[in-house]
Amino acid sequence: MSETNARRYTFAVANEATKRDIADAVAQSFKVDVIAVNVIHVPGKARRLGRRIGHRPDWKKAIVTIAEGQRIEKYFVEGV
């Protein structure tokens, strides 16, 4: 894994959240310096239940890059 990928973390966030909101929340929650935030809107898939067609909800994914040498410890769970 390259050094850049080691500093990136992925989160599912609220659809209304902006890049600034996400950066502030991650910095405050994990006490790290946020360098960049990239967001991806993931469309929900169509699903069938018998004859009926439904849709899973749309959701938003954020990829957060933190400063070099920092790490989010809560993100790693031992023994899983």
Residue 19 has φ and ψ, to the nearest 5°, of -60, -40
Q: What is the pTM of this model?
A: 0.81
Count of other CB atoms within 10 angstroms of residue 26: 21
- CATH number at 43 reads 3.30.70.330
Q: What is the pLDDT of residues 21-66, one digit of tens each?
A: 999 999 999 999 999 999 999 999 999 999 999 999 999 999 999 9
Tokens of 33: 């310096």
d(CA 48, CA 11): 27
Domain that holds residue 16: 3-68
The answer to whether position 77 is within a domain reads no
The answer to whether position 19 is within a domain reads yes
Q: How many domains does the chain have?
A: 1
The answer to whether the CB of 57 falls within 8 A of the CB of 44 is: yes
